[in-house]
Amino acid sequence: MKHEVYVSREKTGLGHNESAALIKKAAAMALDAEGVDVPCVISVMLTDDEGIRTVNREFRGVDRATDVLSFPLNELTPGHFDADVCERDLDTGSILLGDMMISIPRCQTQGEEFGHGYSREIQYLTVHSVLHLLGYDHVDEGEMKRQMRAREKRIMGDE
């Protein structure tokens, strides 16, 4: 079974040569860890702070840049993937999970700030976003946020 992760750049020159491979690897790790055993499709747009700020403002009403945005196509229960309630590609039958957008400059800065570098940061942001596509959320500081952080750590091998 092979998941399809499409990575594109909003502007030329964004990102590193290995960005697409790192994103695909991290997405596969997250989907496998969550027990997603049917082919899924995810689209990823690499952008800059200006691009992600525009989308954040238009879709969330938040007029600032952020590191990653997630746009799930399905309403899923965290930790209980159900392919039967998901949108599917009419041609292939693959599950359409949704889209994500990553700010490459923010990813570089955070990788430096947190001391683990760009490669780890882009993988972490991808795992974080895939979990959103699978129904996880962290709108409050409560149990859901703790559950999401625990899943991220497990997937990234931090425990």
Res. 15: pLDDT tops 90: no
Q: What pLDDT does residue 137 have?
A: 84
Domain boundaries, the chain: 4-156
**Distance, CA of 120 to CA of 77 (rounded, Å):** 27
Q: What is the DSSP letter of 114?
A: T
DSSP annotation string for 71-107 = EESS--BTTB--GGGS-B-TTT--EEEEEEEEEHHHH
- Tens digits of per-residue pLDDT, 57-80? 999 999 999 999 999 999 999 999
Residue 40 phi/psi, 5° resolution?
A: -125, 155
Residue 106 has a CB neighbour count (10 Å cut-off) of 19
Q: Is the pTM of this model over 0.85?
A: yes
Q: What is the pLDDT of residues 72-122, one digit of tens each?
A: 999 999 999 999 999 999 999 999 999 999 999 999 999 999 999 999 999
CATH architecture of 4-156: 3-Layer(aba) Sandwich (3.40)
Strand-pair category, 40-47 with 68-72: unpaired
